[in-house]
Structure 1
Amino acid sequence: MILLTPSSGLFQCTNKLFLSDQATGLQIKEFARRNAANALSVANMVMGIASILSSLDGHHHAACWLILIGYLLDLADGAVARRLGTCSALGAKLDDFADFTTFGIATSLLLRTPDLLDHILCMCYILSVFVRLCFFSSGIPFMYRGLPCIYSAGVLASVSLLSGNNTAMLRVLAVAMILFMISQSFYPHDRVLESQAWKKVVYAGGVVMLFCSFFLPPCVYYLLWSISYILFPTSLWSSKV
């Protein structure tokens, strides 16, 4: 015959609570692991929405830098998903929505003026990003068809900051970026955080530059980074280099 004393009952209750807390902790960790990349995509989308609101309020400098923050987040989310083995259809959709928001709508508003032609240019830019995101697959591993919209956004945001939002220059660059995005040229999947060490250094440099957002060198840094991918995609940025 086994007698249950108050102390033994208390021990059992404490043990159950401990196991329950431990299981809850593991569930939280697993949830965080599975959604870490999705959180980065959502953060990218938030940057895009904030950039849109900043543009509409006339805060041009902030709008450009929010796009460049999204630039870094977009390069990180895929790497995190592959690193943690959490790639999913939901994650891919979130990434596309975030890219369309930040590198499509938010970037197009950098071109916005009261002029009707600029409104048309904004719409053409958004449509080109939409087409690029819908039909980017090339059928070739680690390759895109058409320039990834993140780099066109990087060029426009950087030049806009450097030129003080020179509309004539932005119009010319926007047309060029549209042609690059809808072209049938092949561009490599750069995988900056999953490739050579120097690419990781470039990414780290981009993060450091965020703390110097009131100076011109960071803008030049992001501009050169984006142009280097556009002009030398295979020789520099291919993941197989």
Structure 2
Amino acid sequence: MIENTKNNIGIWARLGAWLTHMANPTRFMRFADRTIPYLAGLSLSLFAIGLYLGFTAPQDYQQGATVQIMFVHVPSAWLAMMCFSVMAVSGIGTLVWRHPLADVSLRAAAPIGLAFTFLALVTGSLWGKPMWGAWWVWDARLTSVFILFLIYIGIIALSRAIEEPTTAARSLSVITLVGWIIIPIIKFSVKWWNTLHQPASVSKLGAPSMDAVFLYPLLTMALAFTVLFFCLHFMNMRNEILRRRLRVLKIKSGQLGKGSAV
């Protein structure tokens, strides 16, 4: 037990050292330039495998061919929540550790999370129509995901509305941390309320209740979506760093006021 504790401390120490090392934007840019092509290639490969496994999987005895929507809907919902959690950690990095790239990470993740949430809502409607007989119901799970969608929109709008960088970074961090309360609500909504949405069948304790012929394609697609997120996140962070550098150059050349945005 003591040995495991030491190993865990060592892992967190190395992670902290790596994050400190990446605090330099130029160093991060070099890391992103090297990493993005590999992430893109890995993501495409996983998507190809996952889609092949998904489309060749047999039809479900209850849902028929519509069960294949699950291979996109469930990973996109997972990533919508994971992305917001990344933003919350970035918010802590801004408020507590003053990490130079924390605000960059938060801003870069927001539009990606919005896209994943939108995809989860759309595919959920497509899946729900034949199952529930309606495109939309004000179910606890669906409503909480829709609230997450609105929170994403609010954060993106606020990031563009506040011109002063320091004020914007702190405001976005606080709102993100407050808004994170929606994540456990989404996660446990099917347990706390009577909902039409099915309960967890993969992440529950014990063996998943899903047959392996559906579980493996789902996990492959989830991994593909996860790698895609990190690829897009690094790309957006790189673009945000370049945008800020351009803003500084414009300020120095007198094209912008000190507090104005690009």
Shared fold per TM-score greater than 0.5: no
Report the TM-score, using the length of structure 2 for normalisation: 0.32
Q: Specify which structure has the bigger relative contact order, considering alpha-carbon pairs within 8 angstroms and separated by 6 or more residues.
A: 2
Larger Cα-atom Rg: 1
